[in-house]
Amino acid sequence: VSTPSDVLFEPFRLGKLTLRNRLALAPLTRQRSHLSGVPTELNVEYYRQRASAGLLITEGTAPSAMGMGYLFEPGLFTEEHVVGWRRVTDAVHAEGGAIFCQLMHNGRLSDPLMLPDGRDPLAPSAVRPDPSLNYSPTPRPNRPYPLPKAMTVREIHDTIDEFRRATERAVLAGFDGVEVHAATGYLPIQFLSTNTNLRDDAFGGSVEKRASFLLSCVDAMSTVAGASYVAVKILPGSTAQGVFDAEPEKMYTYLVPQLSKRGIAYLQLPQGAEGNTWDGYATLRRLFDGPMIAARGFSRPTAAAMVADGNAELVAFGQLLLANPDLATRFQNGWPLNRPVTATYYSQGAEGYTDYPFYPDGDPETMLPPDAPAPVRVRATTPAPAAAR
Ligand SMILES: Cc1cc2nc3c(=O)[nH]c(=O)nc-3n(C[C@H](O)[C@H](O)[C@H](O)COP(=O)(O)O)c2cc1C
């Protein structure tokens, strides 16, 4: 690809925000918050370091106590969470950056050990995740996922309201917006998908009814600060974490115009995920009128081509921004890149988190060339080693 990368450094107007370039930090679970879900000083430092990317999207953050699923993941459902996140957003804004909070409800991908009063995880239907998919690299109780509880209609409405209240807390915490994680196996895609949603009421059955939970969340969240405060990440055709849709094309060609009509802040649509049975980026891009964030496996030249060709307004980088806090400056100057270290993606402390060097520090011998793509990601769901089952 020969597109000059300058296009990545044109500012972009996202609603009321002016982003200084076309780079976004993809949401990355790093599990370095307090066990209570309150962000730490280390979290503040991590996001501050990356604030030169046009838009930061936080790691998956639980909108409610029942949405928790991973140890040391952050939350946004108590006053302490708001205070902790406020330190993060203040630090990012002081650097001239912008930051959205990704709301991630684990739904059936949780465990009574993680939930209030040892309650069973909530899901659209009582469909247990495949026990062979249990040993995710992310810290969680190290045992098979239990059978989740099929939500009552009352519980569904309460959960929608939790997404609304988390949005109110996001405003208090100083976020520039919120993104619903409706991809890779979490609660919203559990509602969207045919193997996890076996309901025959207003929230299951037809495409419209399966989409109703996500759209109701978006509508409830939009009452807080408008639809331009709310964004959505989807991954059509994804089979991650055992969630499948028999007809993704039907679902997403309905869902995306619905999101478009609501005037949400942006749609994040990663390409070609593992197990993807339908990679509909080109189709869905045409069905969405607002800003698009492309993601997954991008390098400097492929991202520049994506923006130059008008196929995306922003490009999110996961692993390359994880390993290169100053990725924007490196891209702009054609400097080499730190290599991401997978062993510390979900570990604890500063190692592999806030200690990736800024250029020119670091060992030139181990660096990647400036146009290298992100390494192919370790699977989100690693089968259990036989001995551990
Ligand atoms: C360590 C790690 C944690 C991730 N956590 C999340 C998450 O919390 N929410 C989410 O939507 N995606 C998550 N992802 C997916 C990334 O947002 C992104 O789509 C993926 O890394 C592919 O982009 P890349 O090739 O630029 O790394 C995670 C990926 C990695 C590597």
* Active-site annotation holds for 252: no
Q: Which atom of ligand 1 sits closest to the CA of residue 26?
A: 17
pTM value surpassing 0.85: yes
In single-letter form, the type of residue at position 175 comes to: F
Given ligand 1 and candidates 29, 56, 105, 268, which is best to mutate, with the most ligand atoms within 8 Å of its CB?
29
φ, ψ dihedrals at 110, nearest 5°: -135, -165
CB 229 within 8 A of CB 221: yes
3-state secondary structure of 340: coil
Indicate whether residue 176 lines ligand 1 (CB < 6 A). no
Quick one: tokens of 349? 């402390």
Indicate whether residue 105 lines ligand 1 (CB < 6 A). no
Residue with CA nearest ligand 1 atom 6: 28
Instruction: Say how far apart CA 245 and CA 190 lie, in whole Å.
Output: 9
Predicted local distance difference test score (pLDDT) of residue 185? 95
Residue with CA nearest ligand 1 atom 2: 28
Instruction: Using the mean position of ligand 1's atoms as its centre, give its distance from the Cα of residue 27 in Å.
Output: 6
Block residue for tokens 């969240």: 221
Indicate whether residue 81 lines ligand 1 (CB < 6 A). no
Indicate whether residue 28 lines ligand 1 (CB < 6 A). yes
- For the chain, give the percent of residues with pLDDT over 70: 95
In single-letter form, the type of residue at position 89 comes to: T
CB 262 within 8 A of CB 232: no
CB 250 within 8 A of CB 206: no
Predicted local distance difference test score (pLDDT) of residue 97? 98
CB 269 within 8 A of CB 315: no
3-state secondary structure of 281: helix
DSSP class of 122: E
Instruction: Using the mean position of ligand 1's atoms as its centre, give its distance from the Cα of residue 322 in Å.
Output: 10
Catalytically annotated residue among 145, 186, 229, 346: 186
Q: Which atom of ligand 1 sits closest to the CA of residue 297?
A: 25
- For the chain, give the percent of residues with pLDDT over 90: 88
Q: How confident is the model over 172-183, as a mean pLDDT?
A: 98
CB 381 within 8 A of CB 241: yes
Instruction: Say how far apart CA 121 and CA 69 lie, in whole Å.
Output: 9
pLDDT at 382 over 90: no
Count of H helices and E strands in the chain? 10, 12
Predicted local distance difference test score (pLDDT) of residue 142? 80
